[in-house]
Structure 1
């Protein structure tokens, strides 16, 4: 990997072409979040107060789950300061938006804003980076997983998307709680406990069967939607010693109506260049990136990116390749052999 540049290097060259108004917060985005909140509450009430047919319960669960995911996308936006700037209001709104995913605003800003964004795809410092072969050898659990045949492993990998965000969030809590100032740790703990307490309270209110449809199934759906984006954001890209968003990030393309529902979360390379800009303006940023560095920019249809995830392993070999330890087959990453158009994945054995 040669000629890598930091996100600041790219941002400095695009910013002169952008209006200063694009960097102002956009509080109108909250109306979308309010609409999702009303949908969730209405879903809870419908399931809780009425003995509906299972078909209707499943349908409502799907709608609640999709709303959970969308609220998480808005929470991500809020906690980057692109919706409101006042700190206490930003944290409060971020907490509400992330409530379904049970992630507190202090933990999220530490884990995501400070560590992931600053150290994206760094094999040691990025909390979201997948392991290299050396780490796999040292981890007995991962060694067992990677002895499974490739197809079976891919299947379980996709199924696990339905729990990965929740499990990783809990891991991040135990990973980072010690890094907070002792005076702030009670707040971080409270922000983690309160959402889960409310969901347990919901269980006692409506009973276990209705709770499955009101919260548990929606949580699985929300996890899958959120992790489908997060998985395609970076997991097809190489590990990079320099935080170069054009090398280590992928923008996926989805229908316009999906971008509207998901607050433009698909524009991920753009987000890593300008995390403090509202995603509302990312289509404009994308135009400038493609004009200035068309050969470096990575974008792919969501369906193709998910297919590429299915067909490649998640263990890195020498940063810019992926390796399947089961058969010792190596696969290219984006910019290093993974061809987005020809759909070729395997590089060598």
Structure 2
């Protein structure tokens, strides 16, 4: 796909087919957040106040992890301004929703709303894009890692999903803190420190064993759920010179009940076309995309997308191809020869 179009180009053509009111905030989404918050508070109290066998804590811990992730998905929507518009209420509710993931609202809006959405899959400007082999090869440790067989790297990459969101959030904090005006920096620091202080304080309050079930295991599970989506959003797509959501983004499909509890986070191409629209309306946007540009649109079941991630290497070779440095094998990306149904090596560098 060489004829790229900007997200505005697509949005302009779709918007005229959408009903009035689709860009209004939908505060009813907060009922889902309230339900998640009640579950989290109840779960924390059950673990903290009762001395039960750890096997009884485990299912509570799993529910907490799923709720942490659900709150994060709602926080993402809130901070795009699609739930409430008033800035201070938006940031307050966003901070509460992201509290379990310890990501501040001002950092998230800077990192995600501004940089990621404006520069999606740009080799240098997108903070979430996977780097090229040229950039990775500057590190001796990375060069050593990429000498390992693909399946070993895939195993550790998937295992690392359990910490990737938290680790990347901290990385983004230190990458962007200096970009805030000096008067704003203390607030950004506070938004990062307070959640972590809460969870570390909980450790001293209830002890190691209960804390593992009340926060640590739920955090790992929340990272896995969130990164299960995020890792498929763009990593199978090419790097692009133009922010073209139909080229650089992938929508995954999940059961309807999962879409319901995850606030339609699976509709990622749609989100990049209309980040200021409530995800409630994304099924309608998807209908029009598939009607107008069916050959450009990328979607697949999330399980198939994760398998494709497992079977393909991550560094980019020429922005459109993925390379396994240990073998010199090139794989296509979506729209550039990658067939998720039958993943094969596109060519060898020494051919």
- TM-score by shorter chain over 0.5: yes
Contact 2:311 / 2:343 at 8 angstroms: preserved in 1? Answer: no
2:72 aligns to what? 72
1:161 aligns to what? 161
In the alignment, the residues of structure 2 paired with residue 331 and residue 56 of structure 1 have an alpha-carbon distance, to the nearest angstrom, of: 46
Task: Give the TM-score taking structure 1 as reference length.
Answer: 0.99
Whether 1:347 aligns to 2:349 is no
In the alignment, the residues of structure 1 paired with residue 244 and residue 303 of structure 2 have an alpha-carbon distance, to the nearest angstrom, of: 25
Whether 1:25 aligns to 2:22 is no
1:226 aligns to what? 226
In the alignment, the residues of structure 2 paired with residue 99 and residue 157 of structure 1 have an alpha-carbon distance, to the nearest angstrom, of: 25
2:254 aligns to what? 254
Whether 1:329 aligns to 2:332 is no
- Post-superposition Cα deviations, 1:210-265, rounded to whole Å, max 9, x if no partner, equal 00000000000000100110000000000000000000000000000000010000
1:292 aligns to what? 292
In the alignment, the residues of structure 1 paired with residue 339 and residue 330 of structure 2 have an alpha-carbon distance, to the nearest angstrom, of: 14
2:318 aligns to what? 318
Whether 1:194 aligns to 2:206 is no
1:215 aligns to what? 215
Q: CA deviation at 1:291?
A: 0.0
Contact 1:308 / 1:345 at 8 angstroms: preserved in 2? Answer: no
In structure 1, the gaps of 5 or more residues are: none
Q: CA deviation at 1:93?
A: 0.2
In the alignment, the residues of structure 1 paired with residue 345 and residue 226 of structure 2 have an alpha-carbon distance, to the nearest angstrom, of: 27
Whether 1:275 aligns to 2:251 is no
Q: CA deviation at 1:19?
A: 1.6
Q: CA deviation at 1:321?
A: 0.4
Task: Give the TM-score taking structure 2 as reference length.
Answer: 0.98
Q: Quote the RMSD (CA, aligned, Å).
A: 0.8
In the alignment, the residues of structure 1 paired with residue 115 and residue 201 of structure 2 have an alpha-carbon distance, to the nearest angstrom, of: 33
In the alignment, the residues of structure 2 paired with residue 149 and residue 94 of structure 1 have an alpha-carbon distance, to the nearest angstrom, of: 41
Q: CA deviation at 1:150?
A: 1.0
Contact 1:337 / 1:345 at 8 angstroms: preserved in 2? Answer: no
Contact 1:61 / 1:218 at 8 angstroms: preserved in 2? Answer: yes
In the alignment, the residues of structure 1 paired with residue 148 and residue 46 of structure 2 have an alpha-carbon distance, to the nearest angstrom, of: 43
Q: CA deviation at 1:343?
A: 2.5
Q: CA deviation at 1:137?
A: 1.0
In structure 2, the gaps of 5 or more residues are: none
Secondary structure of 1:326 counterpart: coil
Contact 2:162 / 2:223 at 8 angstroms: preserved in 1? Answer: yes
Stretches of 4+ moved more than 3 A in 1?
none
Q: CA deviation at 1:12?
A: 0.4
1:13 aligns to what? 13
Contact 1:252 / 1:268 at 8 angstroms: preserved in 2? Answer: yes
Q: CA deviation at 1:323?
A: 0.2
Contact 2:64 / 2:218 at 8 angstroms: preserved in 1? Answer: yes
Secondary structure of 2:346 counterpart: strand
In the alignment, the residues of structure 1 paired with residue 347 and residue 70 of structure 2 have an alpha-carbon distance, to the nearest angstrom, of: 39
Secondary structure of 1:20 counterpart: coil
Contact 1:246 / 1:296 at 8 angstroms: preserved in 2? Answer: yes
In the alignment, the residues of structure 2 paired with residue 181 and residue 297 of structure 1 have an alpha-carbon distance, to the nearest angstrom, of: 40
Summarize the Cα distance change of 1:80–1:345 in structure 2 as closer, same or farther, 3 Å threshold: farther
Contact 1:314 / 1:322 at 8 angstroms: preserved in 2? Answer: yes
Secondary structure of 1:172 counterpart: helix
Matches within 5 A, 1:176-187: 176-187=176-187
